[in-house]
Structure 1
Amino acid sequence: MDDLSPSDLKAILHSKRANLYYLEYCRVMQKDGRVLYLTEAEKENLYYNIPIANTTVLLLGNGTSITQAAMRMLAQAGVLVGFCGGGGTPLYMGSEVEWLTPQSEYRPTEYLQGWLGFWFDDAHRLKAAQQFQQARINFLLEVWQKDRELKLEGFDACDALIQQALDIFNTRTEAAEKSSDLLLTEAQLTKILYKYAAEATGQGGFTRQHQSVDKANSFLNHGNYLAYGLAACCLWVLGIPHGFAVMHGKTRRGALVFDVADLIKDALVLPWAFICAKEGATEQDFRQQVLQAFTDHKALEFMFDTVKAIALQASTPEASEEPDI
């Protein structure tokens, strides 16, 4: 164990990692070659280990601090770190989604080169955005069809209302001539999904308000930021800067994170936000449920597969394996 260095802890590919942590009121430090967080109990201090080799993102909330030594080990293990408010939102880096990303001089370049190969062409960038939207819907159908818990809560991909909404979405997505058309179509579908989820969980009259304090809106904000963490991790591993968005606009520095996060938000975050709100769950209960859903349905792996396929679609060789960085 004494011969183990942080760089040896990266055997688990990022797409296979299972952990995303939110910590508050604690101190993150390095001790005996491990990254720990320290909480202060009434009579004693308690140390808990963070398994960094199997972790993608570390969110630090209220009352947290972190040492330089811990940051060094997290960076060597490829863990992204973000400072945020209570409950996981908002992320404190201005109004954009940005992260403290590990430094590496050996980042892969093929995915960035492939991405830029189409990104400056409006038609090709629109095609990539359409592919994102189609992948998003395919993932929703796959998850809602096979997730028994969601079906028991009333989320059925075969429901006539959902099928009609998705048919309209597919038709308008294929006919879109610019990214603003896609954003309008996305907003219309999301509004229908919100209404469907609210009625399925007995929360009629729901209105999406990002600043609202009701549980459904709060859980949606919280879950979305967890999805942003996975999306940021995916893009960092593949070496694609967050500014090269295909749908959310070229003027937002973190816009590509939103594009990638959207792949899983409707399928997983949206239903569980309403289900947990109906059950009166705590923030921690909701977070655990969503993270378990991410793991069960291999959400991060799906993000990697989708982004890699779009980045390399113009290349003649087959897509290479995920880089081990």
Structure 2
Amino acid sequence: MATVSQRPALTPRHLTRAGDRLSFIYLERCTVHRDANAITAEDAEGTTHIPSATIGTLLLGPGTRITHQAMSVLGETGAAVAWVGEQGVRYYAGGRALTRSSALAEAQAVQWANLRSRLSVARAMYRLRFPDEDPAGLTRKGLLGCEGSRVKECYRAEAARTGIRWRGRKYTPGDFAAGDAVNQAITAAAQCMYGVAHAVVASLGCSPALGFVHSGHELSFVLDIADLYKTEIGIPLAFDVAAESEEDVASRTRRALRDRINEVSLLDRCVVDIKHLLLQGDTGVSATTDRDVVTLQSDGGEVVAAGRNYGDADVDTGEDGAMLW
């Protein structure tokens, strides 16, 4: 097997688009190896080969071990890797972006850095979630209040639809079993959606930390994106699973959510929604996101080619010695 240093680096042209990938794969009680550009999951029943370039997020449950070579190919192909608890609780994730361009990351930073545009993006997120309402005049507190009311309304409506007795949203961090079946299903669905959103955010080269609704956490933007589909997909599915049976809620929720995500092509939709929110219709920026090109910043918003020395005699400088391209 070739070492990392002997293999050529993959370019965006070699990688499967985020929208065309599997949403997530959950593994437990196995050892994950590498075989060429695939990963293998080995347990007592045998070995399963999984093409690494088709994975959005790999969820590693209890009893899993993974080799350095397996992690290297997952990083090369831009897959997010999440270590999760048996019941799908807190996870840790990482991965390399599928794009080599910083266009979306820069657009995100520009939108985030200005308080007005940050609020504008938050309103656009609300509009995506609840298209029957116009949040144009809402303040931050107004958005939070309306969002909270709509989510509570969703819980009550889904409880009435499925016939489940709803006692309110209850989740104790670190104690998955403390909630009833429907709360466990909601938690399991939420954690999987966070993994999926993280995979798409990372694959596009965006910052997981620069959120427009959530703030102060390394995954603020991931939480923003996952919440776009909470009342449409996550909560209804959780109630459906809990209504069927209270047995094995977490694993059944994961399987049902995986199927639902594939049915509605959610990964592709996430990509479209993120670009819509960050680029605000700037198709020129969108067209450059697959370029594998490094440039240098210059004055007046201009960029110049990298890979050359600008200390030549024909480069003009200002009075303070600053280079003028």
Bin of the TM-score, shorter chain as denominator length: 0.7 to 0.9
Cα distance between partner residues in 2 of 1:272 and 1:314: 32
Residue 133 of structure 1, CA deviation: 1.2
Measure, in 2, the Cα distance between the counterparts of 1:323 and 1:89.
34
CA–CA separation in structure 1 for the residues paired with 2:144 and 2:14: 37
What residue is the counterpart of 2:255 in the other structure? Answer: 288
Deviation at 1:292, TM superposition (A): 1.1
Q: C-alpha displacement at 1:285, in angstroms?
A: 2.6
2:16 equivalent in structure 1: 12
Match of 1:275 in 2: 240
Unaligned runs of 5+ in 1: 94-98, 139-165
Shift of 1:316: 6.8
Alignment check: 8 A CA contact 2:97 2:203 kept: no
In the other structure, the counterpart of 1:189 is 150
Letter in 2 for 1:189: R
- With over 3 angstroms needed to count, the CA separation of the structure-2 counterparts of 1:321 and 1:301, relative to structure 1, is farther
- RMSD over aligned CA atoms reads 2.5
SS at match of 1:35: strand
Gaps of 5+ in 2: 173-177, 293-325
Residue of structure 2 equivalent to 1:298: 265
Q: Answer yes or no: is 1:175 the counterpart of 2:142.
A: no
The one of 216, 238, 245 equivalent to 2:211 is 245
Report the CA distance shift for 1:137/1:122 in structure 2 as closer, same or farther (over 3 A).
same
TM-score (norm 2): 0.78
1:311 match: 278
SS in 2 for 1:82: strand
Q: 2:221 aligns with which of 221, 245, 256?
A: 256
Mapped contact 1:10–1:78 kept (Cα < 8 A)? no
1:233 to 199, 202, 225: 199
CA shift in 2, pair 1:19/1:314, >3 Å: closer
**C-alpha distance after superposition, 1:24-44 (max 9, x if no partner):** 11111113553111112xxxx
Larger Rg: 2
C-alpha displacement of 1:220: 0.9
Q: How far off its partner does 1:186 sit?
A: 1.0
Aligned to 1:20, the other structure's residue is in SS state strand
Question: Quick check: 1:38 aligned with 2:62?
Answer: no
Give the total of aligned pairs: 279
Q: What aligned pairs does 1:115-134 form with structure 2 within 5 A after superposition? A: 115-134=108-127
Distance 1:62 1:296 in 2: 28
SS in 1 for 2:87: helix
Against the structure 1 CA distance between its residues 60 and 316, is the aligned structure 2 distance closer, same or farther, given a 3 Å change threshold? closer
Aligned mates of 1:75, 1:303 — CA distance in 2: 21
User: By how many angstroms is 1:248 displaced?
Assistant: 1.1
In structure 2, C-alpha distance between the alignment counterparts of 1:103 and 1:231, rounded to whole Å: 13
Q: For 2:267 and 2:97, how far apart are their aligned partners in 1? A: 21
Is 2:102–2:289's contact at 8 Å kept on the other side of the alignment?
no
Q: Tell me, what secondary structure is at the counterpart of 1:49?
A: strand
Call closer, same or farther: CA 1:103–1:121 in 2, change over 3 Å: closer
Task: Indicate the SS of the match to 1:118.
Answer: helix
Q: CA deviation at 1:130?
A: 0.7
SS in 2 for 1:323: coil
Write out per-residue CA displacement over residues 203-245 of structure 1, whole angstroms, 9 at most, x where no aligned residue: 1233111133322111111111111112112211221111111
**Cα displacement (A) at 1:118:** 2.3
Change (3 A) 1:53 1:33: closer
Which residue number in structure 2 is paired with residue 144 of structure 1? none
Partner in structure 2 of residue 26 of structure 1: 30
Please give the secondary structure, in 1, of the residue aligned with 2:229: helix
Q: Which is worse superposed, 253-262 or 225-234?
A: 225-234
Distance in 1, matches of 2:52 and 2:232, equals 27
The code of the aligned residue for 2:60 comes to L
The letter for the 2-side match of 1:102 is: R
Identity %: 23
